[in-house]
Structure formats: C-alpha cells, structure tokens
Structure 1
Amino acid sequence: MVTPNRGARREMEAGDLFIEMPRRFRKKMARRKWRSDVATAEFVAASRFHRREIAKFLDGFRPDVIALEQCWLWPALREYVETCTPEARFSIVYCSQNVEQELMAQEAMMSGAEVDPWSVQRAVEIESDLAAKADLVVAVSEQDAAYFRKLNPGVVVAANGIWPREMPAGLDHWASRLAGLRTALFVASGHPPNANGFLEMTAPDLGFLSPAERIVVVGGVAGQIQSDPRFLRSADLNNARIELLGVQDGPTLSALIEFADVVMLPIVDGGGTNIKTAEALYNRKPIVATSFAFRGYEHFRHWQNVRLADNPADFQDSLVKALRSEAAVLKSTEIEQLDTLLWTETLQRLPEQFAALPRQRRVPANQANGSGRFIPGLLQRLGLRRKS
C-alpha cells in the first residue's frame, strides 16, 4: 500500500509492503490540491527508491499474478515489467472497481469540484495504458466491461458482492428513538456523488415528508449533506425531517436496517456499481432508487418492492408511497436469487480465469523498439528530469 495516511498501517497484515508518503510530499499534494489516488501515481513515479523497494518486494514474492485493484501503481509496475529478470513469469490483471477516468471527469464537472483537468488527464493516461496492456481486465458491470473492451478484448465481469450483515446491537435504543416514525434509510460514504445525488433527488427541501416520516442518513455522506448550501437553505425544515447519524459500526447499522421501512438509493452519477443496492436487496427491504443505482443489478429492477424514479418529483412521490404502504412479500423464486449477491457467488469463476492466464515475461512493444519512455517522460513532466 502507498498512502499519505499513516493510520492505514493498522490495516496491513504480516508480509505486506507499506509505503507512507513523506511529509514533504504530502504538503506538495495539499498545495497543488492533488487527490490522494493521483498523488500515489506521481509519488511512485518520482521516487526511484520506492520503485526499487516495490521491485525488490515483487522479486522476493515471485508472483504468478499481479492484480491491481486500482490503476495508480501502474507507473511503478510498468517499470518493473520492463526491467524484471528473464526468469520472472507472471500475468497482470486490472481488477477495475469503476472506469476511473470517467468517474474523475464526472467529479470535475460537479459544483465545487476539487478535481482539476490535470488529474483527469493523468487518470486517462495511466488507466488506458494499464487496461490495454493487462492480460485480463475484471470489470464489475457490463457497462464498464464495454468501455474496457475498446482497449483490450480480454475483459470479464465479476460483479461486486456483499456479506450478510452483522448481528444488530442497540435494538431497544433505536426502537425508542424511532418510535412512531416511518423511516427511509440512506447509507453512503463521503464520496461526493453520494451527497450530490441525495440533494438533487430531494430538492428543493424535505417538505414532501410528513412530520411522522424521517430520512435516516448513515455514513460519511451525512457530514457532506449537513454542510451543503442546498441543504442549509431550508435547514430548519430539513433538520425536522432527517436524522444525520454519520459513521456507525456494523451492529448499529444492522439495527437501523432492521427498523427501516424503506431503503433509498438516490444515486445519479459515479462509477462501477453500487454495493448498497445489493445490500438493500439482500436484506429484503423496499427500495426507492434511480435507474442508475441499479447498474449491474438490472435483473432485480422489476421486483415488487423496487420503485425506480429518475427525476426529483417522481423520486419523492415514490418515496412517500413506499413509506405509507406495506412491503410486498417476496416470492420463493425471488428469495432464491438473493444468494447470487454474495461474494462467494460473484467471484466464483475468478480462480479458474486467473489459473488460465499465461505465465510469461511481458515485453512492451515500445521497449522493443527502443522508445520505452513512460517513466522518464513522466519525471520530465513533473520537472524532476531535464530534457536530454
């Protein structure tokens, strides 16, 4: 792991390689307003010491497959591919969570966005090069797969999955706090598209809800909603119809799911697929969502307990109807489909697909013709290497 976050070391296991960006680079990152993921690529590209450290780690591990969950360490890995010993035999897999370049371009267009055009361009350069050169690209949806197939025919789909939720805790507390209320649960991280979708689909305010109805918001998205000018314009009314609980532990979240009458998925942009959609389906809750929230889960769109709406007026109307009606009982055929949402099902074919990959040393074409200038060119762009 390469990160500016020192606390991330706690997530490491024995044998893992942890590289923390030094304070000097973190200051540079903050000054130039680089995203941490793009900064990761720039850091490893500019640090010969750490590229050697990564190469030494790979030499000692002698992998059969090198899988990148994100594209940002590709500059270091590409150099390793071009310089590793002839005895090295491995395949490269890009396990894409989304199309990074498209997601970053979307974020750059949002109001108050902190993503600059340079970061978008770097995402295009790095991800496109990796996707084209990988032995296999694993996408989470057919939409993402279609994009990557323009760069590489070796693309498979392995949908995002979930684990069954934890045992609930604090049931008495939440039963008392939510007594007499009908609740719609919104769970999301602090990823900007999550807050944007919520505020867009509930605009101009939460006055469409009755005093006995609440939206319960869990996760980092709560803080973003609370501080957004679109929410603050009607703060008194909004605060009377919402519970902004912030980040909660697994057992507490399970309790809130238990009491929720509806799960809302107001996702209007972003990348990959929305795992919260799979969780809502698996937990057998009525759902009010945008069509976009069901990308990757299209075969569940027509369930009785699923209401889809793609404009604020229809979304709000659907949410009110769901809150004021009882959930339909799932059919046995629908219940049987729920297990397909678990990780054990969504990833079951990957081991054989990985095993079938070629174990060979990769020599990029531009190295063979003497023009392997990716890393030197990047260093020059950063002002860390002069033109020859």
Structure 2
Amino acid sequence: MRYVSLGTYPIRQPVQGGQLRANAIHKVLRDCGWETRHVLVTPNRGARREMEAGDLFIEMPRRFRKQMARRKWRSDVATAEFIARSSSHRLEIARFLDDFRPDVIAVEQGWLWPALREYVETCPPEANFSIVYSSHNVEQHLLAQEAAIAGAGTDLWSARRAADIESDLAAKADLVVAVSEQDAAHFRKLNPSVVVAGNGVWPRETPVGLDRWASRFAGLRTALFVGSGHPPNARGFLQMTDPDLGFLSASERIVVVGGVADQIRNDPGFLRHRGADNARIELLGMQDGANLSALIELADVVMLPIVEGGGTNIKTAEALYNRKPVVATSFALRGYEQFQHWPNVRLADRPEDFRDVLAQALRSEPEELNSADIAQLDTLLWSSTLRKLPELFAALPRRQRQPAAKPADGRGRFLHGLLQRLGLRGRS
C-alpha cells in the first residue's frame, strides 16, 4: 500500500518533535511493507538536501518570503496562505499525487489542507484514497494561547486562520490521529473517527565522546534540559528556575542542549542574573544524536519545566525511557499520566517547589527499577505507540472524486475541474 504525508518540514533527518513523529510513522509503515512519500512546502531552501528520492520539494518564492517577514507571519500559517494562493503549486502537488496514486494521504498538522481539499474535488476518477489528519496538537488552541502572550509572535489572525483550516480538515478527514486523549476529546466533537497514537521514542544512538564529557563535568551533579528553539521551552525554563540559579550548590550544574540554549542566553531576565548563573549552567546548544546520547548517559537528572504548549512532549518519553530521574511539571506528563507515580519521577508545579525538588533530586541517588517497571518502558517505543496505524490505515474507506460545490450541472463540474487542474481557475 502507498502513503504520502503533506507537511511544512523535512523528515528524513528529524530533530524536533513534529519531524520525529512524522518520520516514525513513515518508518513503522515501511516496516509493514508500505511505500511512502513526503511532500514538503517550506521557505527554507536548504531543506532540499534533506529530501528522499521520490519526495516532492516546494520552496516558497523570495517575493512571498519577504511578504511573510514583513507581516511577521508564523511560517506554518504562512505556508497555508501561500498554498491557498498559488494555483501552480497546488497543481504541482496534484500531479505528484496523480503519479504516486496513494492509498492514504495524511496532512501533518493541517497546514497543506487547502491544496488537498482542492485535489479531492478535482482528482481523476480512478483516484481511490483516504484522508488522515495527523494531528500533533490542537493547533487552534495552541495559537490562541500564544496570541494572548505578549511578544510570542502570534496574532489573532493566525489563530483564526488555524481554527478555520483545522476545523474543516478534522471534520472532513476519514480518520484523525491524535497524540493524547485530551486532544482526541476535542476532535471527536468534529468527527467520530478519532484514534489516539501517542508520541514515543527510538532507543538512543550509541554515545560518543563519553570520556570528554565526563572529564568536563567531573565532580559535578548535572540536570539535563533538552529543548528546541520553540519559545515555550525557554519560557517554561525561565519561569520554573526564576531564572536565578542560586538555589544550586557550587557542585551542581544545569546542562542545556538544543536551540532553547540561545533563547535562554539572550533573555533579559537571565542576563540580570548571569554573574551567578554562569557558574551553574552550561548552555551547550545544538548537539548531534551521538553526543546527546552521551550527555543523557552522564546526567544525574532530566528536567522538564514545561508549562504551556499543545499535544504531548517527546522529551518526556525520552527522559522516562532512558531510566533517568525526572523532575517535571504535571503538564509535562500529559499523555504519559501512567508514569506520574513511577519511581524517580518527581512533580512540582510552583516554581519554588520545582527548584526545591530539583535540588533534592541532584542530592540523592535514584531508586532501582524492578522488572515490571523496565517492561513498562517498552510501551514508550514508537513501534508500540504507533503499532495500530498500519492496520487502521489499510481498513479506511477509500474515496473518489467529490463533485465541486459549484457549478451544479455535470458539464460545468467537469469544466471547472479541468480548468483548475490546468492552473487556469483560481490563479493567484
């Protein structure tokens, strides 16, 4: 069977959560014998290097990128706006789908739904496919939350655009795949065909540089914080640490890996305390998988100061699966509630409590896990969290071309569809 995903980021070399999830779905399907492809629409020219043979890459033109920057659009919302305006690129996607003839077309996070919605109306009669909304969170809720935060870079227009796109897609999809029961409850108000397939992890890479990192942190107890440059990651860290790190002793360090390090480094609140903080934090920035694996191996604690966002956090699954003591907010464990009373998991939701619990964890030894605890960890693997998807996708009803809403007569429908496919109707 054949599967194609439509998204706004490359997935061959995944780094952030959305990429990791989309990549894992492709891998699980391929392991079951499916043939898969990915369609990418992005402002990032360099992403072409991360495409696999047979995939489709569409780069937003310079003129639109300038408009996006001028209006301060989020790149994901801008992608939806771009594809809705560009009949030529919608036609390019349609031709790709015609050639590949997928059994299942999945829209990752919804932003390319304007292209697929038109394809449903204008696809060739022999097309026979199902539509899946592969949801990572409730986008309209997430963007509405961000729009209410000063300086978050999301406006009400973006939130409303997300609500329009996501609600329409969720209602029309043959299946919605959600990451948590909380998200699923929202989508079931729009569509009864909803399934939960949680976020997971793969076993981490073989570590490199263990001796080098061990030497650098010799004699220190370390708390590892890993996060992308997504602003909520930095806001959570700064909120839960004050950001005055004076609560740590001279032999304790917070080690920060990922794009979040630059966000923390440049934050005005952090800069006010940098004299004391610089002696208690290591802002390492981006590291490859093998070096990150070494840092996880050496860490005494993994911290998850997550206070906002949507969906669930893959970093939570990574921390749990790697058998490290975890200090987290209860919000960080959404989707993983079965682990909230697990050995070595400590929860705190007030900043002062979070700091106290983190210090306690750094100054104590972890409990030993029993065989039942260790067996439960296997439920966090992608091969477990996504195991039902191949069978569910294969069983979905296949749809054929749906008549366009207008014009009403058969000859008009045919002409309308033909003009759209030739790029002569609705040209931007």
Question: Normalising TM by the smaller chain, what interval?
Answer: over 0.9
In the other structure, the counterpart of 1:304 is 343
Match of 1:122 among 127, 148, 161: 161
Match of 2:273 among 228, 234, 247: 234
1:256 partnered with 2:295: yes
DSSP 3-state at the match of 2:360: helix
Change (3 A) 1:311 1:368: farther
In the other structure, the counterpart of 1:69 is 108
Match of 1:112 among 143, 148, 151: 151
Paired residues of 1:141 and 1:157 also in contact (CA < 8 A): yes
1:98 partnered with 2:137: yes
In the other structure, the counterpart of 1:30 is 69
Shift of 1:86: 2.3
Shift of 1:344: 0.8
In the other structure, the counterpart of 1:381 is none
Cα separation, 2, equivalents of 1:367 and 1:164: 52
Shift of 1:161: 1.1
Paired residues of 1:82 and 1:367 also in contact (CA < 8 A): no
DSSP 3-state at the match of 1:358: coil
Shift of 1:326: 0.2
In the other structure, the counterpart of 1:380 is none
1:336 partnered with 2:375: yes
Cα separation, 1, equivalents of 2:182 and 2:352: 27
AA aligned to 2:240 is M
Cα separation, 2, equivalents of 1:113 and 1:269: 12
The C-alpha deviation readout for 1:109-144, integer Å capped at 9, x for no partner, is 223111111111110110110001000000011111
Match of 2:226 among 175, 181, 187: 187
AA aligned to 1:134 is A
Cα separation, 1, equivalents of 2:392 and 2:243: 48
DSSP 3-state at the match of 1:119: helix
Cα separation, 1, equivalents of 2:299 and 2:209: 14
In the other structure, the counterpart of 1:225 is 264
Shift of 1:83: 1.5
| 1:18-167 matched pairs, under 5 angstroms | 18-167=57-206
Paired residues of 1:266 and 1:289 also in contact (CA < 8 A): yes
Paired residues of 2:121 and 2:404 also in contact (CA < 8 A): no
The C-alpha deviation readout for 1:273-309, integer Å capped at 9, x for no partner, is 1111111111100000000100110001101200000
DSSP 3-state at the match of 2:355: helix
DSSP 3-state at the match of 2:222: strand
Cα separation, 2, equivalents of 1:330 and 1:108: 43
In the other structure, the counterpart of 1:170 is 209
DSSP 3-state at the match of 1:251: helix
AA aligned to 1:187 is V
In the other structure, the counterpart of 1:378 is none
In the other structure, the counterpart of 1:324 is 363
Cα separation, 2, equivalents of 1:249 and 1:337: 28
Q: TM-score of the superposition, structure 2-length normalised?
A: 0.85
Cα separation, 2, equivalents of 1:252 and 1:268: 27
Shift of 1:80: 0.8
Cα separation, 2, equivalents of 1:256 and 1:198: 19
DSSP 3-state at the match of 2:56: coil
AA aligned to 1:259 is L
AA aligned to 1:235 is R
Change (3 A) 1:365 1:153: farther
Shift of 1:368: 8.8
The C-alpha deviation readout for 1:49-82, integer Å capped at 9, x for no partner, is 1111111111111111101112010001101111
Cα separation, 2, equivalents of 1:159 and 1:220: 24
Cα separation, 1, equivalents of 2:296 and 2:81: 41
Change (3 A) 1:138 1:367: farther
In the other structure, the counterpart of 2:252 is 213
In the other structure, the counterpart of 2:283 is 244
Paired residues of 1:90 and 1:361 also in contact (CA < 8 A): yes
Match of 2:331 among 292, 304, 308: 292
Question: Structure 2: 5+ residue runs without aligned partners?
Answer: 1-39, 417-426
Cα separation, 1, equivalents of 2:179 and 2:156: 26
DSSP 3-state at the match of 2:367: coil
Question: Structure 1: 5+ residue runs without aligned partners?
Answer: 374-383
AA aligned to 1:179 is A
Cα separation, 2, equivalents of 1:92 and 1:147: 19
The C-alpha deviation readout for 1:187-226, integer Å capped at 9, x for no partner, is 0101111001000101141111111110000000000011
Cα separation, 1, equivalents of 2:146 and 2:47: 25
Change (3 A) 1:352 1:368: farther
Cα separation, 1, equivalents of 2:63 and 2:155: 21
The C-alpha deviation readout for 1:158-193, integer Å capped at 9, x for no partner, is 011111111111111111110111100000101111
AA aligned to 1:123 is A
Match of 1:282 among 316, 321, 325: 321
Paired residues of 2:240 and 2:354 also in contact (CA < 8 A): yes
In the other structure, the counterpart of 1:348 is 387
